[in-house]
Amino acid sequence: MNAQEIAGIKKREQLRSMIEAIGLAGLMSKGFEFVSPEEQLSDVLKKMGQLDLHEMPVSLDGKRLMGVVSYGTLLKRRNLPITTKAGSIAIMPQEITPDTLVTEVAEAFMTSGFRQIPVVRGQIIQGIISRTNMIKIVQGIRDLSELKVRDVMTEDVQTVGSEEPVEAALMSMKNLTIRTLPVVDKENHLTGIVGIKQVANYNWRERKRETVGEMTGDNSPVKVKVSSVQLDSVITVGEDANLGKAVELMLENKVSTLPVVDNGDLVGIITKYDIIELLASFRQRDMVYTQITGLDSDDKFAAELMDRDITASLQKIAKISRPMLFTLHVTKYNAQATTNKYSLNGRLITENKVWVASAVDWDLNRATVNLMQILERRVIERKEEKIDHRKRAKNIGHH
């Protein structure tokens, strides 16, 4: 291990100490809204929409936690009657106390997909910690704030067409486990953005009234286009902007997603989740934290091979730069009647950089190998660039 690598490790440990020194009690919101277990889904959705919340605690008295109602849960069970009571669809989140380290909280956000989690002590709610609270950490730590957006963003952006039916956006969100989609026109220009709130409210609102199709005796109700529910005003950021600037835009405009543009072209996307993922990478652990999402029961056998290939690749990368966290999302398309096509998006956080890569293939395991090889190659190229830079600097010094 050379002096530069030792310095990198020391720097990372210093950053981890700074992040974990931030107490949860000072970040969380003490005031919060809740729903009773007897409230109906229609009223819960209305309240969530009005308050701009993706999750709400369920409680009889606003003190003892009985669970959480989440848009994510509703998305998976979208045929629920609007009369369903909150208590029957509430799920109990991972226990977060005021003493929980913020790096552990960041990991809890990743595993749950929640945007806000109740903070409890003995099941009594102390407050709410949200992604919004968490990303403020970046603003107070210069080394995080000065990271470039291009080093954290996702390059392979999942979009939805403005002329596509809302059903298409709903299915994409369900299959991709994401909550916000940039909307593009036929020329692939950014025209708006659509979130889970617009889709969820449309989905259950349509159940409450007769549709044109039902009134005319047609079994296929009128297809409402994404353009009719999308938000047309989109806040964007440039790829060369600092992460601190991206956080500032998110907080000022109360948005969770920023499309990244270059001369009007959509080149990536950065979300609060990406920043949460960065914070989670600083958690001290014996092994690399690995998370694979998007797989279904049909892919169980492939998952074992994927895990083997990912582990082998991370071991190679570890010889150059220590991996801290790796996430992989799989999207499966029925491109042909009998064959699936797989699109993989991977994000690797090492001790000194964030790496992103994508791969598409008809074979899931081959796609995994291709993606990991891309990451390996990029890490090696970065190392070679650094060696070459040091050699040039040394030669200049001798002259």
* Encoded amino acid at 58, one letter: V
257, β-bridge pairs: 271
289 in any annotated domain: yes
CA separation, residue 370 to residues 346, 354, 377 (Å): 11, 18, 11
Contact of 210 with 234, CB cutoff 8 Å: no
Of 50 and 206, which is predicted with more confidence? 50
Minimum mean pLDDT range among 90-104, 135-149, 206-220, 276-290: 206-220
Beta-strand pair 323-333/289-293: parallel
Per-residue exposure over 47-74, b if at least 16 CB sit within 10 Å of its own CB, e if not? bbeeeebbbbbbbeeeeebbbbbbbbbb
292 in any annotated domain: yes
193 in any annotated domain: no
Number of domains, the chain: 2
Q: How many whole angstroms separate alpha carbon 237 and alpha carbon 255?
A: 12
**Is residue 223 scored above 90 in pLDDT?**
no
> Residues of the chain with pLDDT > 70: what percent?
86
**Is residue 212 scored above 50 in pLDDT?**
no
The pLDDT value recorded for residue 174 is 67
The domain boundary, picked from 96, 122, 139, lies at 139
* Domain coverage including residue 321: 285-399
The pLDDT value recorded for residue 293 is 83
Look at the chain and count its residues.
399
373: CATH: 3.30.160.100
Residues 6+ positions from 109 with CB-CB distance below 8 Å: 115, 117, 131, 134, 273, 276, 280
124, β-bridge pairs: 64, 121
178 in any annotated domain: no
The pLDDT value recorded for residue 345 is 83
Residue 130: in which H helix or E strand, if any? strand 124-130
377 in any annotated domain: yes
pLDDT tens figures, 114-151: 999 999 999 999 999 999 999 999 999 999 999 999 88
The domain boundary, picked from 120, 139, 158, lies at 139
**Nearest Cα residue to 103 out of 199, 11, 179, 15:** 15
The pLDDT value recorded for residue 210 is 41
357, β-bridge pairs: 346
Most confident of 116-125, 257-266, 291-300, 354-363: 116-125
- For the segment 13-39, the average pLDDT, to the nearest whole number, is 92
Tokens matching residue 122: 């003995």
Per-residue exposure over 351-372, b if at least 16 CB sit within 10 Å of its own CB, e if not? bbebbbbbbebeebbebbbbbb
Minimum mean pLDDT range among 37-51, 68-82, 131-145: 68-82
Tokens matching residue 84: 């369903």
Minimum mean pLDDT range among 94-108, 132-146, 346-360: 346-360
The domain boundary, picked from 139, 164, 185, lies at 139
Contact of 151 with 245, CB cutoff 8 Å: no
Contact of 190 with 235, CB cutoff 8 Å: no
188: left (phi over 0), alpha (psi -120 to 50) or beta: left
CA separation, residue 164 to residues 161, 172, 308, 332, 342 (Å): 5, 12, 38, 19, 22
Residue 10: in which H helix or E strand, if any? helix 3-20
**Nearest Cα residue to 365 out of 296, 301, 316:** 301
388 in any annotated domain: yes
121 in any annotated domain: yes
CA separation, residue 364 to residues 70, 159, 330, 333, 356 (Å): 31, 22, 9, 11, 18
Average pLDDT over the chain, rounded to an integer: 83
The pLDDT value recorded for residue 330 is 86
127: CATH: 3.10.580.10
30 in any annotated domain: yes
